[in-house]
Chain A
């Protein structure tokens, strides 16, 4: 088989769209299951979510999967836009009168537009959460901290530290350093005094509603929630056509199963984005 067939032929490009698209559907399920923890309120929810975020960043298998996901999004977007560009060229002169609604769904005809909006969403979403988690300043959620010279264990988050510990709501006897991203040490002599997770939970809460310390509302939260919800609606339309379409592309069509696949695709396209959108709505209105 020649390279030009696998990368350049129209049908092979479509296999790539279908494989990456279906893989991204799996990714959506995984991502959604993780996000569901945001419904889990209070300090316990905060701890559970932050530990989960830590796990997601450090588990080897998940690291591998995340790279496959980045590549899939990139490939799906580039390939999709390339196909859309070729398709535009295939009809240089438009009809004066075109009743396309008589023969096809608008989602099926607007996959590239819907996809481009999703791409913008993914980019901003990654700057807001993924980027902060990986490269940004993120508050630490600390617990089990015990200070030498102080008594006993300090439970949960009576501490609120930033990375550089400029905010220190409790008196700290000694300078504290973070190692391995989750262990707190004092220096000279180096003693482990507790644990702290990057507090992604508070970042999310602050983004869509109440800020980390619980009370004041982010002025622009309504906008974030609105744009998030619109993006999920766009994703929903992309999947209403995309899910079943991928099976057709891969030649998986059969009088007995195609109706079932279409129904599953419809259900998936409604339930998954709606549940994603419910989370910021819940945070905002609760």
Chain B
């Protein structure tokens, strides 16, 4: 396969950046999108050029590091996959492919296609946890009975890998899908109920402070999410927040 790549190049946080065009050849359908990026980078290195910086780690769809906005969609045109799981057979010979970083004020570009997603970490630090007694009499989590339905819903919410595709896809750069998945996975379980009120207030406050936009319920996030996190979680967080807003002191 012969392709034309239009890639965002930006040497550092303060560089203005621009789209640069790279022709590439000998791409096979069974390569992953990141394999293709590796081929390109090898060519660039051979030529003595600066390789394109992009994030990746596990390359099996579980770490959430890869984060490319491909041809106008987060993680590319396929559904329910991360960029590392996207196969080149989804593209056709001669195609032009735009590759851009996540665009959000809260995710500043570090270099080329790498963005700083530590805003998510700060949202997590604000409440994405349960406090556990570790002084020697820690209670086994499985000692508390949990309904199968809630356990499943909590598990589904917990499959969020924090990649940020939801923010990247949202016209408002809203982080509601991510934050609601993290609020939900704990709110659904008895251990999480203890700190539920402060959790949702603090996580949403941090989300706002980090400069993410406001949700308009476009639903783009859930369509582009590689883990198919459902909008049910956003509705649940809206309910949790309503309760918390009216009952907190």
Residue contact A111 to B204, C-beta cutoff 8 Å: no
Residue contact A87 to B171, C-beta cutoff 8 Å: yes
Q: Is B234 an interface residue (CB 8 A)?
A: yes
**Chain A residues bordering chain B, tally (CB within 8 A):** 41
Cα–Cα, bound, A189→B6 (Å): 90
Which residues of B (221-241) have their CB < 8 Å from a CB of A?
223-224, 231-232, 234-239, 241
Binds A, one of B27-35, B49-57, B66-74, B140-148: B66-74
Residue contact B105 to A92, C-beta cutoff 8 Å: yes
User: Residue A97 contacts which of B100, B169, B235, B241 (CB distance < 8 angstroms)?
Assistant: B100
Task: Find chain A residues with CB under 8 A from B8 CB.
Answer: 96
- Known interface pairs A90-B106, A90-B174, A91-B173; A9-B73 also in contact (CB < 8 Å): no
Residue contact A89 to B72, C-beta cutoff 8 Å: no
- Minimum distance in angstroms from B87 CB to a CB of chain A: 18
Q: Is A178 an interface residue (CB 8 A)?
A: no
Cα–Cα, bound, A11→B243 (Å): 12
Counting contact residues on chain B (CB < 8 A from A), the size range is 35 or more
Residue contact B72 to A97, C-beta cutoff 8 Å: yes
Query: Contact string, A11-36, partner B, CB cutoff 8 A, digits 1/0?
Result: 11111000000000000000000000
Which residues of B (178-216) have their CB < 8 Å from a CB of A?
201, 204-205, 207-208, 211-216
Chain A contact residues: helix, strand, loop or mixed: helix
Task: Find chain A residues with CB under 8 A from B120 CB.
Answer: none
Q: Is A56 an interface residue (CB 8 A)?
A: no
Residue contact A251 to B238, C-beta cutoff 8 Å: yes
Cα–Cα, bound, A86→B6 (Å): 30
CB-nearest residue of chain A to B104: A91
Task: Find chain A residues with CB under 8 A from B204 CB.
Answer: 9-11
- Known interface pairs A96-B19, A97-B100; A10-B215 also in contact (CB < 8 Å): yes
Q: Is A157 an interface residue (CB 8 A)?
A: no
- Known interface pairs A90-B213, A96-B98; A6-B172 also in contact (CB < 8 Å): no
- Known interface pairs A1-B245, A10-B204, A11-B204; A108-B235 also in contact (CB < 8 Å): no
Cα–Cα, bound, A250→B217 (Å): 11
CB-nearest residue of chain A to B208: A10
- Known interface pairs A10-B207, A104-B223; A99-B72 also in contact (CB < 8 Å): yes
Q: Is A162 an interface residue (CB 8 A)?
A: no
A-B contact count (CB 8 A): 141
- Known interface pairs A83-B214, A87-B213; A103-B174 also in contact (CB < 8 Å): no
Cα–Cα, bound, A10→B179 (Å): 13
Q: Is A187 an interface residue (CB 8 A)?
A: no
- Known interface pairs A15-B242, A253-B232; A9-B208 also in contact (CB < 8 Å): yes
Residue contact A91 to B105, C-beta cutoff 8 Å: yes
- Minimum distance in angstroms from B179 CB to a CB of chain A: 10
User: Residue B238 contacts which of A11, A87, A94, A98 (CB distance < 8 angstroms)?
Assistant: A11
User: Residue B245 contacts which of A5, A94, A97, A98 (CB distance < 8 angstroms)?
Assistant: A5
Residue contact B236 to A105, C-beta cutoff 8 Å: no
User: Residue B220 contacts which of A86, A93, A103 (CB distance < 8 angstroms)?
Assistant: A103
Task: Find chain B residues with CB under 8 A from A11 CB.
Answer: 204, 215, 237-238, 241
- Known interface pairs A83-B214, A90-B211; A103-B223 also in contact (CB < 8 Å): yes
Q: Is A100 an interface residue (CB 8 A)?
A: yes
Q: Is B133 an interface residue (CB 8 A)?
A: no
Residue contact A12 to B245, C-beta cutoff 8 Å: yes
Residue contact B103 to A95, C-beta cutoff 8 Å: yes
**Contacts beyond the supplied A89-B105, A96-B19, A97-B6: 17 A-B pairs with Cβ under 8 Å:** A10-B212, A10-B213, A12-B241, A13-B214, A83-B214, A87-B171, A89-B211, A90-B173, A90-B213, A100-B220, A103-B73, A103-B218, A103-B219, A104-B223, A108-B218, A250-B238, A253-B235
27 interchain pairs (CB within 8 A)?
A1-B246, A5-B248, A9-B204, A9-B241, A14-B215, A15-B238, A83-B214, A86-B214, A87-B173, A90-B172, A91-B103, A94-B103, A95-B103, A96-B100, A97-B98, A98-B72, A100-B220, A102-B73, A103-B219, A104-B223, A108-B219, A109-B216, A111-B216, A245-B217, A249-B215, A251-B236, A252-B235
